Amino acid sequence: MKRALFYLVLGLAAITFLYPFLWMIATTFKPPSEAGTLSLLPDAPTLDNYRAMFARAPVGRAMINSLLVATTVTASVLVLGSLPAYALARLDFPGRRFVHGVTLAYLLVPSQLTLIPLYSLIVRLGWVDSYRALIVPFLFNAPGVLMLHKFFLQIPRSLVDAARLDGMSEVRIVFGVFWPLARPALATVGIVTFMGTWNEVLWPLLVVRDQSTMTMPQLLTVFTLGGGAGTLGIQLAAATVLIVPVIVAYAFLQRHFIESMAGGVKG
């Protein structure tokens, strides 16, 4: 009996978390007259909202932009970020303490502090409305470097020495020896970076004005705020398009998502 009550309450809680999404998706298929009704099944289902959305906003383009930016940044954080991570872990070079210190310290710097100066820099460089503005400031990120660094420290010295004796260059060592062993860390950093970049909306709002360069979350924001969206159904259609790929990926890779994003904090 107590168990049944327990599961009932738990179920209600879960519904609180799921129902809004279901309602949102349902509303996107409802005509304006039905918008806002409680039912999850529209009386007169329609694709008009999606049609209107695609007609009014370059959704496909924005999705591609998001994908492009997120993939490039993630790849860079992993590939480029491995270099300093390895250098910090296994090589002694002048300024090593300094580099490590900067990386640690930057974790403490809140983003609000650098937002405006970074924007000013982008403007002076003439990078407004370009992919560069969305990608270059994020080629490396501090938590990523630190996480990889920590993981690399755990890889036995002997492996490195053996590889060096074999005549491998340091770069080959990073990608040939460390990478295969660092899959969990790479997955963690990869997922966190990818999701963070995919969902980022404030930075694109600052540096991108041209619709054809906007990322999807940004387009959704601009679309909703600017009134171009019109009715509720169209607004929610844009939101749906943004989140459905993530939900699908999440459904399959739930464990990895959770371990990466929540596990990463503890480290």
Partner 1 sequence: MRALTALVLALACSQPPPPPCGSPAFAPKLDYLRHLGMDLTIGGKRVRAVALYANAPDYRHTASPARDGSEGVACVDDAARAALVYLRDVEVTGNPASREEASRLIDFVVAMEQGNGEWINFVNADGTPNRTSPTSVASFSYWAARALWALAEGYRVLHREDLRPVLDRAVARFARELDSGRLVGGSVTATSEALLGVLAYLRVAPTPSNTSTALRAAQRLVKTEQRGIHIEGEAWHAWGARAVQALAAAAITLRRPEFAESARREADGLWARFDRGVPAGLEPDGSLKQFPQIAYGQSPIIEGYLALADATGDRRYAVRAGKLARWFTGGNSAGARMYDAATGRTFDGIQSATAINRNAGAESNVEALLALEAIAQNPVAVGAFQDVEPTGRAEITYWPAANPIEVDLARGLAAEFMAQNPDVIIHVQPIPAGRSSEEVLLAAIVGHATPDVCSNINSALLSRLVRAQSVVRLDTLGPTAARLRERASDAMLAPVRLPDGGIYALPWKTNPMVLLYNSDLVAKPPRTYSELRTLFHRLAKDADGDGRLDHWALFVKPSPTWFERFYDFYPLYLAGSRGKTLVEHGKVAFDNEAAVAALELLHDGFAAHELPLAMFEGRDPFLDGTVAMKIVGPWFLQQLEELKMPGLHYEVAPVPVPDGESPEHAYAFGDLKSIAIFATTRHPDAAGRFVAFLTSPAADRKLVELAAQLPYRRSLTDDPRIASALDRWHGMRTIAAQVERVRDIDIDRDIVEVLDIVSEAYEAASVYGTVSPARAVHDAAREAREVLER
Partner 2 sequence: MRHERSTGLFLASPYIVFFTIFWLIPIAAALVMVFLDWDLVTPPRYAGTENIELLLQDVRFGRALLNTLVFLAVNIPLQVALALALALALNRNIIMRSFWRGTFFLPVVISGAAVTVLWKALYSTDVGLLNQMLNAAGVRSVPWLTDPTLAMPAIAVMVTWKNVGFYIVLYLAGLQYVPRTCYEAMAIEGATPWQQFRNVTWPLLRPVTGLVTTLSVINGFQVFIEPYVMTGGGPLRRTLSPVLYMYKQAFGYQKMGYAATIGVALALIMAACLFVGRKLAAGKEAA
Binding site for partner 1 (CB under 8 A): 32, 120, 123-124, 126, 128-129, 209-212, 222, 226, 229-232, 234
**Amino acid identity for residue 169 in this structure:** S
- State how far the Cα of 139 lies from the Cα of 132, in Å rounded to an integer: 10
Name which position in 5, 41, 55, 113 contacts partner 2 (CB under 8 A): 113
**Smallest gap from residue 132 Cβ to partner 1 (A):** 13
Question: Any idea what DSSP says for residue 126?
Answer: T
92 belongs to the binding site for partner 2 (CB under 8 A): yes
Cβ proximity of 233 and 27 under 8 Å: yes
Residue 220 binds to partner 2 (criterion: CB under 8 A): yes
Question: Residue 47 CB, nearest distance to partner 2 (Å)?
Answer: 19
Asked if residues 263 and 187 have their Cβ atoms less than 8 Å apart, the reply is: no
Query: Using CB distances below 5 to 8 A depending on partner kind, what does residue 209 bind out of partner 1, partner 2, none?
Result: partner 1
Binding mask 149-188 for partner 2 (x = CB under 8 A): ---------------------xx--x--------------
Distance CA 39, CA 34 (A): 9
Give me the least distance between CB of 154 and partner 2, in Å please.
19
The single-letter DSSP state of residue 138 is: G
SS3 content of the chain, % helix, strand, coil (to 5): 80, 0, 20
Report the residue from 111, 158, 226, 227 that binds partner 2 according to the rule CB under 8 A. 111
Token pair 């660092």 is at which residue? 182
